[in-house]
Structure 1
Amino acid sequence: MNVGVLRFAPTFLTRSVATRRAAPTLLSVSARLVTALLHTSAPHSPLEPSRREPTMKAVVITTPGDPEVLRLQEVGDPKLEDGHVLVRVAATALNRADTLQRRGMYPPPKGASEYPGLECSGTIEAVGKGVSRWKVGDQVCALLAGGGYAEKVAVPAGQVLPVPAGISLKDAASFPEVACTVWSTVFMMSHLSAGETFLIHGGSSGIGTFAIQIAKYYGARVFVTAGSEEKLAACKDLGADVCINYKTEDFVARVKEETAGKGVDVILDCVGASYFQRNLDSLNLDGRLFIIGTQSGAVTQVDLRSILARRLTVQAAGLRTRSPENKDAIVDEVEKKVWPAIEQGKVKPVVYKYLPLAEAAEGHRLMESSKHLWTCIVLSS
């Protein structure tokens, strides 16, 4: 209702009462109603800061497409629910899944933030009901279902981790997603053990650089593939025992050569279809292949006899779509089994470049060019 128009109502009603006394009751009620409306505070303009909804900046995927579709925009604050904490984000790490989401190929699960970003570090700004471990002001890092490319994110309390001792707040953002991915697949499901052999495809990626270090910490012999001598040298520096340039060498032949014809015990693969049969050919008896990506495609043919004859296990899993309870259990394991290795300096953050939040598109271009080494970190402030 237009308040400016209502302000003329009392004069109009006074004249009406004087000239049309036949309906005093109706006019009296109308006058009281208008008077009440005039004494009711008018709504504040949407532009008045005192009444605006809290806002933050986030990187929005304006439409599926190339990196240019990422835009830093002002959006509403995330809602803090029971059992959650609100984190003021210091940094987030870029993951291959973020580029797939940007292209419309990897939508967030139901109820998750629409903004990309699967891990973050920052400071707790608010705590929901039922949260006992964390308090306002705690510096943390967290596994996310989405929302890391923003100034604030709401996170289930069970998916929050303390910043490891000796690690900066911004570098802590490089750990949650890769640590939970590698630990849940390679150790919790494929049961990599001391003395076993382990092949990592994409050894210079964020997943790869973490997997090299944690596998060495637990006593495995580590093989990696990568596409340049520079990347292989970086993997060697992190502790990889056998480094294979997949562009110039047949990794199956090299694996067999290095293992006296047996093959490796565990493979972590992000490539998919084009590597599937070759991965099977690279495995030892009772070997385990774990697939976490399909960069070369998702459809292939396989001779099942190669699996049967050597009792091979093929598994695949994502992390983002797991239940909150399952994620909580993984995070708990990571804190117990991985955080000590980080705090001892045996597993280190490996960061290629830091970028401001407004330059998230540049980070995506770097990742998709495959010219980068390691992880790119995006800083929210």
Structure 2
Amino acid sequence: MRAVLFEGSGGPEVVKLREVPRPVPPREALLVKVHATALNRADLLQRQGEYHVPEGQSSIPGVEIAGTVEAWGEDVKGFTRGQAVFGVVEGGGLAEYCLLDQGMALPIPSCFDFAEAAAASESCLTANETLFALGQLQRGQAVLIHAAASSIGTTMVQMARHVGATTYCTVGTAAKVEALRALGADEVFNHREQDFVREVLRLTRGEGVPLVMDFIGGAYLERNLAVLGHEGILVLVGLLDGMTAQVDLLRVVQRRLQLKGSSLRLRPLREKREVNARFRQRWMEVLARGELRPVIHARYPLEDVQSALAEMEANRNIGKLVLTLEGNTRHA
């Protein structure tokens, strides 16, 4: 099969499309013929040599796929050959075939094509887990979402609105401001022109918000704590700009603030299955009704993966960058 490989670390020159052996499914996994996959920030960091693949996982990039079941291991039950499925994988997604654990496989809603299903895989699981399992977001509350034009951010906005929460968002360009407003965000701040701390405190009359979803990391830590209300929760979903920061511990103690971290790929498979089950129970019917849809910035053929990575590196994307393979059509 063909697969994307990073031969060394660096820029576009290390990205190669090579012939590699097709994987053989272990006892509890499906072999999926990939019709669509998608990029994540970890793929770009892996190419640059700044992300190390967890031990035992595939060195082929790509952590979310959509396709059809080709074969399965001896302990797999409940699937049929040709069945349309999508889900999060432990690497190997940027290839013509990929292994998908049976506990991570989800049926593709009839209103989705393969590209939409691939785009929903990781972003939906992460958004649900961080907003609700960790962030405890409730109807009537407000949440501040940083990097809201990302694939996870746009999913968070939709999920929060679906449960009746207020969404405050930060983005970095005027085009992203307009895109988030069109998606239904209540307030959107261009962080290059506006102070989100001042704006959030103004909108909340100085009380702050109960929840902040942060992809930035150390550079935003003090300001994030400043906008949290009493017993507020800060969830670190990413570390795009800084892995260390100084913390005003007195503020944390006085307001009884909570700081939580999230990483799906580093969790053991048992916990990933639990994350997947929580998402499936809460959101699959919503997806089936078309009430939650991934935002797709652009679709590229797998052969043009370098262009897709360049678009992500330039931070121009609003939503997900999808890679399509032969057979990416709306399934029956």
State if a TM-score over 0.5 links the two structures: yes
Corresponding residue SS for 1:88? strand
The aligned residue for residue 33 of structure 2 is 88
Structure 1 spans left out of the alignment, 5+ residues: 1-55
The aligned residue for residue 215 of structure 2 is 270
Which range moves more in the overlay, 245-254 or 185-194?
185-194
1:194 partner letter: R
1:68 deviates by: 2.7
The aligned residue for residue 156 of structure 2 is 211
User: Aligned-residue CA RMSD in angstroms?
Assistant: 1.0
Q: Contact 2:294 / 2:319 at 8 angstroms: preserved in 1?
A: no
The alignment-based identity, stated in percent, is: 35
1:18-71 deviation digits (Å, cap 9, x = unpaired): xxxxxxxxxxxxxxxxxxxxxxxxxxxxxxxxxxxxxx0000001111133111
TM-score normalized by the length of structure 2:
0.96
1:298 deviates by: 0.5
1:297 partner letter: G
Q: Distance in 1 between matches of 2:295 and 2:219?
A: 28
The aligned residue for residue 324 of structure 2 is 379
The aligned residue for residue 16 of structure 2 is 71
1:144 deviates by: 1.0
**Greater radius of gyration (CA):** 1
1:350 aligns with 2:295: yes
The aligned residue for residue 338 of structure 1 is 283
Quick one: structure 1 residues 67 and 292, their matched pair in 2 at CA, closer, same or farther if it must change by over 3 Å?
Answer: farther
1:344 deviates by: 2.2
2:139 aligned to which of 176, 191, 194: 194
Q: Contact 1:214 / 1:338 at 8 angstroms: preserved in 2?
A: no
Count of aligned pairs between the two proteins: 326
1:132 aligned to which of 77, 96, 100: 77
1:15-164 correspondence to structure 2 within 5 Å? 56-164=1-109
Corresponding residue SS for 2:220? helix
1:345 deviates by: 2.2
Corresponding residue SS for 1:116? coil
Runs of 4+ with deviation above 3 angstroms: none
Q: Distance in 2 between matches of 1:187 and 1:101?
A: 29
1:184-222 deviation digits (Å, cap 9, x = unpaired): 122111211111111110111101111100111111100
Q: Distance in 2 between matches of 1:162 and 1:335?
A: 10
Q: Contact 1:274 / 1:300 at 8 angstroms: preserved in 2?
A: yes
The aligned residue for residue 44 of structure 1 is none
1:250-298 deviation digits (Å, cap 9, x = unpaired): 0000000111111111111110111000000011111100001111110
Higher relative CO (Cα under 8 Å, sequence separation at least 6) belongs to 2
1:170 deviates by: 2.0
Q: Contact 1:164 / 1:343 at 8 angstroms: preserved in 2?
A: yes
Corresponding residue SS for 1:208? helix
Corresponding residue SS for 1:236? helix
The aligned residue for residue 226 of structure 2 is 281
Which range moves more in the overlay, 63-72 or 203-212?
63-72
Q: Distance in 1 between matches of 2:126 and 2:266?
A: 12
The aligned residue for residue 221 of structure 1 is 166
Structure 2 spans left out of the alignment, 5+ residues: 327-332
Corresponding residue SS for 2:103? helix
1:259 aligns with 2:204: yes
Q: Distance in 1 between matches of 2:256 and 2:309?
A: 40
1:296 aligns with 2:254: no
1:308 aligns with 2:253: yes
The aligned residue for residue 330 of structure 2 is none
1:297-320 deviation digits (Å, cap 9, x = unpaired): 101111101111111100112100
Q: Contact 1:217 / 1:341 at 8 angstroms: preserved in 2?
A: no
1:230 aligns with 2:170: no
Q: Contact 2:120 / 2:293 at 8 angstroms: preserved in 1?
A: no
TM-score normalized by the length of structure 1:
0.84
2:269 aligned to which of 324, 344, 347: 324
Q: Distance in 2 between matches of 1:67 and 1:218?
A: 41
